[in-house]
Amino acid sequence: MKKIITSMLAVSMITGMACMSAGAEAEYNNANSNVMVANENHISATNPVVDLLKSATNGKDSPYNHYTVYDGSDAKSFKVKGRTYYYGITQNGNISSFSLNTQKVKKLSFKVAHLDNSSLVDDSTLTIYLDGEKYKTYTLTYNMTYLPIDIDTTEFSKVRFDFGEYKDSRFALVDFKVDGKTAPKGADIPKYTSVDSLINSAYDTDTFWLSETTIYDSSKKLGFKMKGRTYYNGISMRSGGGFSLNTENVDSISFDLSHVDNSGIGDSAVKIYLDNELYENKAISIAPNTPIKRYTLDLKNIDNLRIETNRYTETSYAVGNIEFNNIKSQKSYIVPTYDDAIDFINSKFNDSGVTVYDNTQKLGFNMDGVNYKQGLLMSAGGTVSFNTESIKKLSFKLGYIDNSVPYSGNKLQVYLDGELKEISIEKNQKNQKTQNVDLDVSNVKCVKINFSDKYANTKYGLADIAIIKDESKVNIPKGDVNLDNVVNITDITKVAAHIKGKKVLTGDSLKAADVNDDNKINITDITKIAAHIKGRIILK
């Protein structure tokens, strides 16, 4: 039966062709010829780049010529500059040398770049030999842009590649062209749909000895702190830590940059590279009292962004509240609010030589014969910082601690967002007087306090600390009980625990839990928060 049907189809096709005009028949034959060639190429024809890669052999007479060939024979890939490559050759050891057969190649083109997430410690070299004779040596660095190389191989049958020996950095050869023809598949360039997808694509992170880089995305419950703020998206870096991003599909990026709280009080610097050019031709010096600065970078003509810290320092820095192409994160940062002065005192950060008195200690400290149980006792050279974004006035009594050694001419140094204000500490022959200090912080985000001298026996006190809140700056979203800028099941759990008396809410958390503003926390509030989470209502 099949043979009869086949014969009938054949007769039908012959009859149809017989009825064609000469032009139509030629077009038909040409189309079928193209289909046959395409199918033949797909099934059996070889690609000149693939043939070249498959010809790779050890370049030197040594069993330690570490390299890996990616010729499309499996699903493996590697990454360079954030791109994903399926064809090329990579280093995978300290001694890497290989040769390619170019007997049938007239022109060989390729690019060289650093292999993502390999060491950044050493620069390296690539030396190329044509039929055993040295052609050129190239210097390779971890932050280099793609290095394009074109070689006329008409008269040469073998090209050898020797990378610098005993170097920790690794490099790769990509984007091969053989007589103008490319590999069957090009590189994949990343595209980002969220801040999470952007920062999780970061590469070349912990690639220095002792360096540390941590990515904070929306999956992490705990964030990091800069100047008292809690950030929920960003990247922190320490001791040479840093990161790179492929930005070929990013037009602009914005972020906050500063010192990470309680990570050391030394000065250091951060470097920003646009491709391999240092931003503004200098490193960015950052001290613990340097205010948070927001940067917006134009990346329309930039393929790669790198941010890194100085090596061999315990101080950490971070970028936070990242936005790109007008895409924002679900969780940015939270400005601290305070129930009272005790809450404010206990929020201190970047402190050294400081003892907190919060009315829980049996013994306080004495100034001018008066005992105080609320405030700060500070040693000479002591320092402490506070976030003041939600308050407008900070007041305290200032003086020497009784029986300590007063130092004539010493001053209290107060930095208001990095701007220095000095206050002389009064004393006379008979006693050491206290004085009242009032600071207007209505337009100040961060206050740093320290003393100018470093005499070991001198101690100072800041007593009866008081704050005045700036209610106009306090914006507490209803239902956001744990104050993380997101209303979810965690907030319901906290309200339920409060109602059952297991863990009582206070301050701003208590205000956020009272979603219907009836000055009561009960099942009605839980119901409304649940409805908000399900999208049935929107809480203000």
Q: Tens digits of per-residue pLDDT, 201-215?
A: 999 997 666 778 999
Tokens matching residue 25 = 């028949």
Is the CATH number of domain 341-472 2.60.120.1060? yes
What residue segments make up the domains of the chain, in order of their start? 2-43, 49-182, 195-334, 341-472, 476-533
Report d(CA 246, CA 262) in Å as an integer.
Answer: 31
Is the CATH number of domain 49-182 3.30.2040.10? no
* pLDDT at position 94: 79
> Helix or strand or coil: residue 284?
strand
| Domain 195-334: homologous superfamily in CATH | NPCBM/NEW2 domain (2.60.120.1060)
The proportion of the chain whose per-residue pLDDT surpasses 90, expressed as a percent, equals 58
pLDDT digits (tens, 9 = 90+) for 79-124: 999 999 999 999 987 788 999 999 999 999 999 999 999 988 888 9
462 versus 330: the higher-pLDDT residue is 462
483 versus 479: the higher-pLDDT residue is 479
Q: 348, 385 in Cβ contact below 8 A?
A: yes
pLDDT at 141 over 60: yes
pLDDT at 44 over 50: no
Is the CATH number of domain 476-533 1.10.1330.10? yes
* pLDDT at position 92: 86
pLDDT at 30 over 60: no
Q: Whole-prediction pTM value? A: 0.80
Quick one: which of 159, 171, 146 has its CA closest to 93?
171
Q: 473, 443 in Cβ contact below 8 A?
A: no
Polymer length in residues for the chain? 540
Residue type, 152: D
Q: 460, 423 in Cβ contact below 8 A?
A: no
Quick one: which of 221, 443, 224 has its CA closest to 316?
224
* pLDDT at position 21: 44
Q: Which residues, in sequence order, are bridge partners of residue 173? A: 89, 112
Quick one: which of 279, 281, 325 has its CA closest to 305?
279
> Helix or strand or coil: residue 270?
strand
User: What is the Cα 521 distance to its own chain's centre?
Assistant: 39
Instruction: Assign 148 a pLDDT band (cuts: 50, 70, 90).
Output: very high
Q: Residue 436: count other Cβ atoms within 10 Å of its Cβ.
A: 9
Same topology between domain 49-182 and domain 341-472? yes
